[in-house]
Chain A
Amino acid sequence: MNKIVAVIGGGVAGLETSIQLEKLGYKVNLYEKDSELGGHAGKWDRLFPNRRHATEVIDSLTSRIKDKVQINLVATVNQIKRENGSFLVEANGKSQKADAIVLTTGFELFPASKKEEYGYGIFDNVITSAELEKMFADHGKPQSTTGKTPEKIAIIHCVGSRDEKVNRPYCSKVCCVTAVKQAIEIKEAIPTAEVYCFYMDLRMFGPGYEDLYKEAQVKGVNFIRGRLSETSEMEGSRVLIKAEDTLSSKPLKMTVDMVVLMVGMSPLPSTEKILKDLELSPNNDGFVQVKDYHLEPTHTKAEGVFVAGACTGPNNITDSVNAAHSAALEVHKYLTSK
């Protein structure tokens, strides 16, 4: 049994799928467009809800595939062709055969500069949640551009989520809990800092999430129910933000040292090309359309093409791992019956 499965994308979903398929005895070709495995989670500092280091998870995943699957780094899949019931996957000018394909291409973080009024890329101290994670990883605490420690920080929920003006009408699920996690981390790193979360609804759907929210409240994180409308820059590169405090029905303005934008999960543009090759179409939100949302969530409409992880829509790590297991099993069922 030497059947080959191509796994496209080396994030959590791709790694877990590869592990499972390898255990089932398949030869796995893993394609990763970056120079490192681990995807977005690999670039994160700590994970919700228990704030373990992301490296723990990623290292565990990568160590289990090491030397067991063919890992193609800096390998952007340019073309997938069907040939005699199997596939030809072309990356970096090299074509390799595959009997089945698992799409684990993931997502991209919403490009925050598309929300011009929020000032990302225009004002210095407007950063994204990903940049804050990097600050935590590098310095253990947030830092303004001048190297100063911010004392007043606003965390903005739903940036590039639930927003029809930027064509992202869906909820990205994980930003609420990420915001709460980061708020707690800021409070822990800078106990004197004032932290304000601007939210529309707090969607704490997972186990331990609500506890995290409570912990943030206990630690003194402020929650303001209102969505940011616009920012402008003030003296000393501070940022003036405007929102409505909807619970008291009054407009609210606040000058802060730093604005952190909780960027949502967006469909990855390069996935679209792969979908075209496979004659698949994206769903309404632009993510990969699964065959049956309830019953076949890791199938696609194309024969031999399976899917797992956040390329099907916003997802947390647990969901991605579950989907990866499911996809591996479905690939196995498909290849053994073929």
Chain B
Amino acid sequence: MVNFGYTPLPTHIHDMDKASLTLADSISFEDASFNLCIACGSCTATCTAGSFTNFSFRQMCHQIKRGESKQAIAESEKCMLCGKCTLACPRNVNTRNIIRLVRKANQTI
């Protein structure tokens, strides 16, 4: 094969062939509402923690769905479990439960 002198940097792409979706699978098994997100961002917009730091529940869920569990777990710690996002979500995603499931995954890893 011809070497063009460059390859795509693996950190810059979602390599879905290699991504581990174990956490995503286990969360959607425990709480089916995890799959219902339409990425509207209401949760992040209303987030109490999000007004002090860059914390996005929506992004965290997305990271899990793309296999970036480590980053997601680290993010989840910023949550205050206040429940505002649960009230804002138009798709009835059980946000507090998902945070707890992610935090529990932190303990098992």
Contacts and interface: CB of A to CB of B under 8 A. Distances in A.
A72 to B, nearest CB: 40
A227 B91 contact: no
Nearest to A117: B88
Given A243-B41, A244-B43, 10 more contacts: A117-B88, A164-B92, A165-B88, A165-B92, A201-B38, A227-B45, A229-B41, A230-B88, A246-B39, A249-B58
Contact of A164 (B44, B51, B90): B90
B90 A245 contact: no
A226 interface: yes
Interface in B47-106: 47, 50-51, 54, 56, 58-59, 87-92
A227 B41 contact: yes
A163 interface: yes
Contacts of A164: 90-92
Q: What does DSSP make chain A's interface, helix, strand, loop or mixed? A: strand
B42 A244 contact: yes
Interface of B: 38-47, 50-51, 54, 56, 58-59, 87-92
A227 B92 contact: no
B90 A165 contact: yes
Contact of B89 (A158, A165, A201, A242): A165
> Among the interface residues A201, A229, A243, which one has the most CB atoms of the partner chain B within 10 A?
A229
Contacts of B38: 162, 200-201
Contacts of A228: 42, 45
Contacts of B54: 250
Given A244-B56, A249-B59, A226 B90 contact: no
A157 to B, nearest CB: 10
A87 B87 CA distance: 46
Contact of A242 (B45, B58, B92): B45
Nearest to B59: A249
A229 B42 contact: yes
Interface string A246-266: 100111100000000000000
Contacts of B58: 244, 246, 249
A251 B44 contact: yes
Most buried by A among B38, B44, B59, B92: B44
A-B complex: 6 closest residue pairs judged by Cβ atoms: A244-B41, A229-B45, A227-B40, A229-B46, A244-B44, A163-B90
B45 A252 contact: yes
Contacts of B42: 227-229, 243-244
A251 B87 contact: no
Contacts of B59: 249
Contacts of A245: 41
Nearest to B87: A165
A170 to B, nearest CB: 12
Nearest to B44: A244
A158 B38 CA distance: 13
A251 B59 CA distance: 11
A23 B40 CA distance: 48
Greatest chain A CB density within 10 A among B38, B40, B59, B92 is at: B40
Contacts of A249: 44, 56, 58-59
Given A226-B45, A251-B50, A252-B45, A246 B90 contact: no
Contacts of B46: 229-230, 242
